Amino acid sequence: MTTDTPAIEARGLSKRYGDLVAVDGIDFTIPRGEAFGFLGPNGAGKSTTMRMIYRASPVGGGELRILGLDATSGRDDRAIKARLGVIHQEDNLDQELTVRETLEVFCRFHRLRGAAAAAKVDELLDFADLRDRADSLVITLSGGMKRRLMVARGLIGDPDVVVLDEPTTGLDPRARQSLWDKLSRLKRRSATLILTTHYMDEAERLCDRVAIMDKGRIVTVGAPRDLIERHASPSVIEVELADAESAGAVEALERTAEAHASFGGRLLLYTRDGEATMAAALAALGGRPAHLRRGTLEDVFLRITGRGLDG
Protein backbone atom coordinates (compact mmCIF):
# COMPACT_ATOMS: atom_id res chain seq x y z
CA MET A 1 0.00 0.00 0.00
CA THR A 2 1.28 3.49 -0.85
CA THR A 3 0.73 6.64 1.15
CA ASP A 4 -1.64 7.74 -1.64
CA THR A 5 -4.10 5.06 -0.55
CA PRO A 6 -6.87 6.77 1.49
CA ALA A 7 -7.15 5.94 5.16
CA ILE A 8 -10.87 5.26 4.74
CA GLU A 9 -13.06 4.75 1.66
CA ALA A 10 -16.81 4.17 1.94
CA ARG A 11 -19.25 3.68 -0.92
CA GLY A 12 -22.94 3.17 -0.25
CA LEU A 13 -22.14 2.28 3.36
CA SER A 14 -25.26 1.30 5.28
CA LYS A 15 -26.45 -0.35 8.47
CA ARG A 16 -29.87 -1.52 9.60
CA TYR A 17 -31.20 -2.66 12.95
CA GLY A 18 -34.49 -4.31 12.09
CA ASP A 19 -36.68 -1.64 10.53
CA LEU A 20 -34.37 1.15 11.69
CA VAL A 21 -31.99 2.49 9.05
CA ALA A 22 -29.08 3.78 11.14
CA VAL A 23 -26.74 4.55 8.21
CA ASP A 24 -28.34 5.11 4.82
CA GLY A 25 -25.92 4.51 1.94
CA ILE A 26 -23.24 7.12 2.63
CA ASP A 27 -20.10 7.87 0.59
CA PHE A 28 -16.94 9.47 1.96
CA THR A 29 -13.16 9.35 1.59
CA ILE A 30 -10.65 10.28 4.29
CA PRO A 31 -7.08 10.84 3.04
CA ARG A 32 -4.15 9.72 5.16
CA GLY A 33 -3.00 12.39 7.59
CA GLU A 34 -6.34 14.19 7.74
CA ALA A 35 -8.34 15.00 10.86
CA PHE A 36 -11.95 14.20 9.98
CA GLY A 37 -15.02 14.68 12.15
CA PHE A 38 -18.54 13.27 12.11
CA LEU A 39 -21.08 15.73 13.54
CA GLY A 40 -24.78 15.35 14.17
CA PRO A 41 -27.42 14.91 16.87
CA ASN A 42 -27.99 11.67 18.71
CA GLY A 43 -29.42 9.12 16.29
CA ALA A 44 -27.84 10.72 13.23
CA GLY A 45 -25.78 7.60 12.47
CA LYS A 46 -22.32 8.90 13.32
CA SER A 47 -21.62 6.44 16.15
CA THR A 48 -22.80 3.51 14.03
CA THR A 49 -20.50 4.67 11.24
CA MET A 50 -17.59 4.88 13.68
CA ARG A 51 -18.31 1.38 15.02
CA MET A 52 -18.09 -0.01 11.49
CA ILE A 53 -14.79 1.83 10.97
CA TYR A 54 -13.13 0.47 14.11
CA ARG A 55 -14.60 -2.98 13.42
CA ALA A 56 -16.86 -3.26 16.46
CA SER A 57 -19.82 -3.76 14.10
CA PRO A 58 -19.97 -5.52 10.72
CA VAL A 59 -20.76 -3.59 7.56
CA GLY A 60 -24.46 -3.83 6.80
CA GLY A 61 -24.28 -2.90 3.14
CA GLY A 62 -22.13 -1.12 0.60
CA GLU A 63 -18.33 -1.12 0.66
CA LEU A 64 -15.76 -0.06 3.25
CA ARG A 65 -11.98 -0.12 2.86
CA ILE A 66 -9.62 0.85 5.67
CA LEU A 67 -5.97 1.54 4.84
CA GLY A 68 -6.54 -0.31 1.58
CA LEU A 69 -7.84 -3.42 3.38
CA ASP A 70 -11.26 -5.00 2.94
CA ALA A 71 -13.59 -4.19 5.83
CA THR A 72 -16.75 -5.10 3.91
CA SER A 73 -16.41 -8.86 4.27
CA GLY A 74 -14.60 -8.76 7.60
CA ARG A 75 -11.82 -11.02 6.38
CA ASP A 76 -9.15 -8.36 7.01
CA ASP A 77 -10.47 -7.34 10.44
CA ARG A 78 -7.48 -8.64 12.39
CA ALA A 79 -5.03 -6.75 10.17
CA ILE A 80 -7.18 -3.61 10.31
CA LYS A 81 -7.52 -3.63 14.11
CA ALA A 82 -3.75 -3.95 14.47
CA ARG A 83 -3.36 -0.62 12.71
CA LEU A 84 -6.09 1.31 14.54
CA GLY A 85 -5.98 3.13 17.86
CA VAL A 86 -9.43 3.46 19.43
CA ILE A 87 -10.26 5.84 22.28
CA HIS A 88 -13.80 5.21 23.51
CA GLN A 89 -16.03 7.77 25.18
CA GLU A 90 -16.55 5.56 28.23
CA ASP A 91 -13.77 5.20 30.80
CA ASN A 92 -12.77 1.54 30.49
CA LEU A 93 -9.48 1.80 32.38
CA ASP A 94 -8.61 -0.72 35.10
CA GLN A 95 -8.90 1.46 38.20
CA GLU A 96 -6.62 -0.78 40.31
CA LEU A 97 -3.58 -0.54 38.03
CA THR A 98 -1.06 2.27 38.10
CA VAL A 99 -0.60 4.54 35.11
CA ARG A 100 2.64 2.78 34.17
CA GLU A 101 1.10 -0.68 34.61
CA THR A 102 -1.79 0.29 32.33
CA LEU A 103 0.62 1.10 29.53
CA GLU A 104 2.82 -1.92 30.22
CA VAL A 105 -0.17 -4.30 29.96
CA PHE A 106 -1.10 -2.91 26.56
CA CYS A 107 2.51 -3.11 25.41
CA ARG A 108 2.25 -6.86 25.94
CA PHE A 109 -0.93 -6.93 23.84
CA HIS A 110 1.13 -5.37 21.05
CA ARG A 111 4.01 -7.84 21.61
CA LEU A 112 6.36 -5.19 22.94
CA ARG A 113 8.77 -6.55 25.52
CA GLY A 114 11.85 -5.46 27.47
CA ALA A 115 13.66 -2.30 26.39
CA ALA A 116 11.24 -1.63 23.53
CA ALA A 117 8.26 -1.67 25.91
CA ALA A 118 10.05 0.51 28.48
CA ALA A 119 10.95 3.06 25.81
CA LYS A 120 7.36 3.16 24.50
CA VAL A 121 5.94 3.62 28.00
CA ASP A 122 8.36 6.47 28.73
CA GLU A 123 7.52 8.12 25.39
CA LEU A 124 3.79 7.99 26.09
CA LEU A 125 4.11 9.16 29.69
CA ASP A 126 5.86 12.25 28.36
CA PHE A 127 3.32 12.71 25.56
CA ALA A 128 0.41 12.58 28.01
CA ASP A 129 2.17 14.70 30.67
CA LEU A 130 1.74 11.85 33.16
CA ARG A 131 5.33 11.05 34.09
CA ASP A 132 4.89 12.50 37.58
CA ARG A 133 1.82 10.27 38.05
CA ALA A 134 3.34 7.10 36.57
CA ASP A 135 3.10 5.19 39.86
CA SER A 136 -0.33 6.53 40.85
CA LEU A 137 -3.38 4.26 40.75
CA VAL A 138 -5.76 5.10 37.93
CA ILE A 139 -8.58 5.54 40.46
CA THR A 140 -6.76 8.58 41.91
CA LEU A 141 -6.53 10.45 38.59
CA SER A 142 -8.72 13.37 37.55
CA GLY A 143 -11.06 13.01 34.60
CA GLY A 144 -8.66 14.88 32.32
CA MET A 145 -5.72 12.71 33.35
CA LYS A 146 -7.72 9.54 32.72
CA ARG A 147 -8.67 10.76 29.26
CA ARG A 148 -5.04 11.55 28.46
CA LEU A 149 -4.08 8.08 29.66
CA MET A 150 -6.72 6.54 27.39
CA VAL A 151 -5.26 8.45 24.44
CA ALA A 152 -1.74 7.32 25.35
CA ARG A 153 -2.92 3.72 25.67
CA GLY A 154 -4.52 3.92 22.22
CA LEU A 155 -1.19 5.00 20.71
CA ILE A 156 0.90 2.08 21.94
CA GLY A 157 0.80 0.20 18.63
CA ASP A 158 1.81 3.30 16.61
CA PRO A 159 -1.56 3.21 14.82
CA ASP A 160 -2.01 4.59 11.32
CA VAL A 161 -5.55 5.73 12.21
CA VAL A 162 -6.71 7.04 15.60
CA VAL A 163 -10.46 6.88 16.25
CA LEU A 164 -11.87 9.10 19.02
CA ASP A 165 -15.47 8.90 20.20
CA GLU A 166 -16.47 12.16 21.94
CA PRO A 167 -12.91 12.61 23.26
CA THR A 168 -13.56 15.47 25.71
CA THR A 169 -17.13 14.81 26.89
CA GLY A 170 -17.45 15.51 30.60
CA LEU A 171 -14.13 17.34 30.93
CA ASP A 172 -13.80 20.82 32.39
CA PRO A 173 -12.55 23.60 30.07
CA ARG A 174 -8.95 23.37 31.27
CA ALA A 175 -8.82 19.59 30.77
CA ARG A 176 -10.40 19.96 27.33
CA GLN A 177 -7.74 22.47 26.30
CA SER A 178 -4.99 20.15 27.55
CA LEU A 179 -6.34 17.21 25.55
CA TRP A 180 -6.80 19.39 22.45
CA ASP A 181 -3.09 20.23 22.68
CA LYS A 182 -2.24 16.51 22.71
CA LEU A 183 -4.47 15.80 19.72
CA SER A 184 -3.01 18.75 17.83
CA ARG A 185 0.44 17.19 18.39
CA LEU A 186 -0.85 13.97 16.84
CA LYS A 187 -1.99 15.94 13.79
CA ARG A 188 1.48 17.41 13.43
CA ARG A 189 2.83 13.85 13.34
CA SER A 190 0.60 13.25 10.27
CA ALA A 191 -1.63 10.77 12.09
CA THR A 192 -5.09 10.24 10.62
CA LEU A 193 -7.68 11.27 13.22
CA ILE A 194 -11.37 10.38 12.99
CA LEU A 195 -13.62 11.74 15.71
CA THR A 196 -17.16 12.44 16.77
CA THR A 197 -17.94 15.41 18.97
CA HIS A 198 -20.81 17.57 20.17
CA TYR A 199 -18.48 20.52 20.75
CA MET A 200 -18.44 22.78 17.71
CA ASP A 201 -15.33 24.65 18.88
CA GLU A 202 -13.58 21.27 19.17
CA ALA A 203 -14.50 20.33 15.60
CA GLU A 204 -13.38 23.70 14.25
CA ARG A 205 -10.06 23.52 16.10
CA LEU A 206 -9.13 19.89 15.39
CA CYS A 207 -10.77 18.90 12.10
CA ASP A 208 -9.52 19.59 8.59
CA ARG A 209 -12.94 18.51 7.32
CA VAL A 210 -16.24 17.46 8.88
CA ALA A 211 -19.21 15.46 7.67
CA ILE A 212 -22.54 16.62 9.08
CA MET A 213 -24.96 13.71 9.40
CA ASP A 214 -28.72 13.67 9.88
CA LYS A 215 -31.11 10.70 9.79
CA GLY A 216 -28.40 8.31 8.65
CA ARG A 217 -27.19 10.42 5.75
CA ILE A 218 -24.33 12.83 5.15
CA VAL A 219 -25.89 16.20 4.33
CA THR A 220 -22.66 18.09 3.66
CA VAL A 221 -18.87 17.69 3.89
CA GLY A 222 -16.15 20.31 3.97
CA ALA A 223 -13.66 22.36 5.95
CA PRO A 224 -15.41 24.00 8.93
CA ARG A 225 -14.93 27.61 7.85
CA ASP A 226 -15.86 26.76 4.25
CA LEU A 227 -19.12 25.19 5.44
CA ILE A 228 -19.90 28.24 7.55
CA GLU A 229 -19.20 30.51 4.57
CA ARG A 230 -21.32 28.34 2.26
CA HIS A 231 -24.32 27.54 4.45
CA ALA A 232 -24.44 30.17 7.22
CA SER A 233 -22.56 33.49 7.46
CA PRO A 234 -19.51 34.97 9.17
CA SER A 235 -21.68 36.80 11.72
CA VAL A 236 -24.90 35.87 13.52
CA ILE A 237 -27.14 38.06 15.66
CA GLU A 238 -29.27 36.30 18.26
CA VAL A 239 -32.51 37.89 19.46
CA GLU A 240 -34.68 36.45 22.22
CA LEU A 241 -38.26 36.63 21.02
CA ALA A 242 -40.90 37.73 23.53
CA ASP A 243 -43.96 35.49 23.83
CA ALA A 244 -46.22 38.25 22.50
CA GLU A 245 -43.85 39.45 19.76
CA SER A 246 -45.93 40.78 16.87
CA ALA A 247 -45.51 39.37 13.38
CA GLY A 248 -44.71 42.85 12.13
CA ALA A 249 -41.88 43.30 14.63
CA VAL A 250 -40.38 39.94 13.70
CA GLU A 251 -40.60 40.73 9.99
CA ALA A 252 -38.87 44.06 10.58
CA LEU A 253 -36.02 42.25 12.30
CA GLU A 254 -35.80 39.64 9.55
CA ARG A 255 -35.41 42.39 6.94
CA THR A 256 -32.24 43.64 8.64
CA ALA A 257 -30.30 40.48 7.67
CA GLU A 258 -29.46 38.49 4.55
CA ALA A 259 -31.07 35.34 5.98
CA HIS A 260 -32.77 34.26 9.18
CA ALA A 261 -34.00 31.25 11.15
CA SER A 262 -36.10 30.74 14.27
CA PHE A 263 -35.04 28.19 16.85
CA GLY A 264 -35.86 27.57 20.50
CA GLY A 265 -37.50 30.96 21.08
CA ARG A 266 -34.64 32.75 19.35
CA LEU A 267 -34.44 34.58 16.06
CA LEU A 268 -31.09 34.12 14.33
CA LEU A 269 -30.06 36.78 11.83
CA TYR A 270 -27.31 35.79 9.38
CA THR A 271 -25.16 38.54 7.91
CA ARG A 272 -21.76 39.38 6.42
CA ASP A 273 -21.74 42.83 8.04
CA GLY A 274 -22.24 42.17 11.72
CA GLU A 275 -21.92 45.72 12.99
CA ALA A 276 -24.30 47.29 10.47
CA THR A 277 -26.89 44.55 10.92
CA MET A 278 -26.56 44.79 14.70
CA ALA A 279 -27.28 48.51 14.58
CA ALA A 280 -30.34 47.94 12.38
CA ALA A 281 -31.57 45.12 14.61
CA LEU A 282 -31.19 47.21 17.78
CA ALA A 283 -33.16 50.03 16.13
CA ALA A 284 -35.92 47.59 15.18
CA LEU A 285 -35.92 46.18 18.72
CA GLY A 286 -36.38 49.59 20.28
CA GLY A 287 -33.35 49.21 22.54
CA ARG A 288 -33.92 45.59 23.63
CA PRO A 289 -30.70 43.52 23.80
CA ALA A 290 -29.30 41.37 21.03
CA HIS A 291 -26.13 39.29 20.88
CA LEU A 292 -23.60 39.39 18.02
CA ARG A 293 -21.36 36.34 17.53
CA ARG A 294 -19.48 34.58 14.75
CA GLY A 295 -21.12 31.84 12.69
CA THR A 296 -20.52 28.26 13.82
CA LEU A 297 -21.01 24.73 12.56
CA GLU A 298 -24.20 24.55 14.62
CA ASP A 299 -25.59 27.35 12.43
CA VAL A 300 -24.69 25.27 9.38
CA PHE A 301 -26.63 22.32 10.76
CA LEU A 302 -29.60 24.51 11.68
CA ARG A 303 -29.75 26.12 8.25
CA ILE A 304 -29.58 22.74 6.49
CA THR A 305 -31.88 20.64 8.69
CA GLY A 306 -33.97 23.12 10.63
CA ARG A 307 -32.84 21.78 14.00
CA GLY A 308 -29.83 22.06 16.27
CA LEU A 309 -27.00 19.62 16.87
CA ASP A 310 -28.48 18.72 20.26
CA GLY A 311 -31.42 17.13 18.44
Q: What was the pLDDT predicted at 33?
A: 94
Domain that holds residue 282: 233-295
Q: Are residues 169 and 244 located together in one domain of the fold?
A: no
Q: What was the pLDDT predicted at 307?
A: 64
Q: What was the pLDDT predicted at 246?
A: 65
Q: Collapse the DSSP code of 147 into the 3-class scheme (helix H, G, I; strand E, B; otherwise coil) and give the result.
A: helix
Supply φ then ψ for residue 258, to 5 degrees.
-80, -25
Among 223, 244, 274, the domain-final residue is 223
Q: Are residues 253 and 188 located together in one domain of the fold?
A: no
Among 223, 249, 277, the domain-final residue is 223
Q: Are residues 216 and 242 located together in one domain of the fold?
A: no
Among 192, 223, 254, the domain-final residue is 223
* Cβ atoms 308, 263 nearer than 8 A: yes
pTM: 0.88
Q: How far apart are alpha carbons 78 and 88 in whole angstroms? A: 19
Where does residue 144 fall: left (phi above 0), alpha (psi -120 to 50 degrees), or beta otherwise?
alpha
Q: Are residues 114 and 240 located together in one domain of the fold?
A: no
Angle at 226 between CA 221 and CA 227, to 5 degrees: 50
Q: Are residues 188 and 280 located together in one domain of the fold?
A: no
| Distance (Å) of CA 66 to CA 26, 30, 90, 105, 116 | 15, 10, 24, 27, 28
Q: Collapse the DSSP code of 255 into the 3-class scheme (helix H, G, I; strand E, B; otherwise coil) and give the result.
A: coil
CATH number at residue 285: 3.30.70
Q: What is the tally of structural domains in the chain?
A: 2
Digit-by-digit pLDDT tens for the chain (311 residues) are 446 799 999 999 999 999 999 999 999 999 999 999 999 888 899 999 999 999 999 999 999 999 999 999 999 999 999 999 999 988 999 999 999 999 999 999 999 999 999 999 999 999 999 999 999 999 999 999 999 999 999 999 999 999 999 888 888 888 889 889 988 888 888 889 999 988 888 999 999 999 999 999 999 999 999 999 898 889 999 988 776 566 777 888 888 888 888 877 788 899 988 888 888 888 887 767 788 999 998 889 888 877 655 65
Q: What was the pLDDT predicted at 260?
A: 86
Chain centre distance of CA 166: 6
Q: What was the pLDDT predicted at 281?
A: 84
Q: Are residues 134 and 251 located together in one domain of the fold?
A: no
Q: Are residues 268 and 211 located together in one domain of the fold?
A: no
Supply φ then ψ for residue 88, to 5 degrees.
-80, 160
What are the residues whose beta carbons fall under 8 Å from the beta carbon of 218, sequence distance 6 or more?
26, 27, 28, 211, 212
CATH number at residue 128: 3.40.50.300
Supply φ then ψ for residue 262, to 5 degrees.
-110, 135
Residue 300 lies in a domain: no
Residue 110 lies in a domain: yes
Residue 1 lies in a domain: no
Q: Are residues 22 and 80 located together in one domain of the fold?
A: yes
Q: How far apart are alpha carbons 88 and 95 in whole angstroms? A: 16
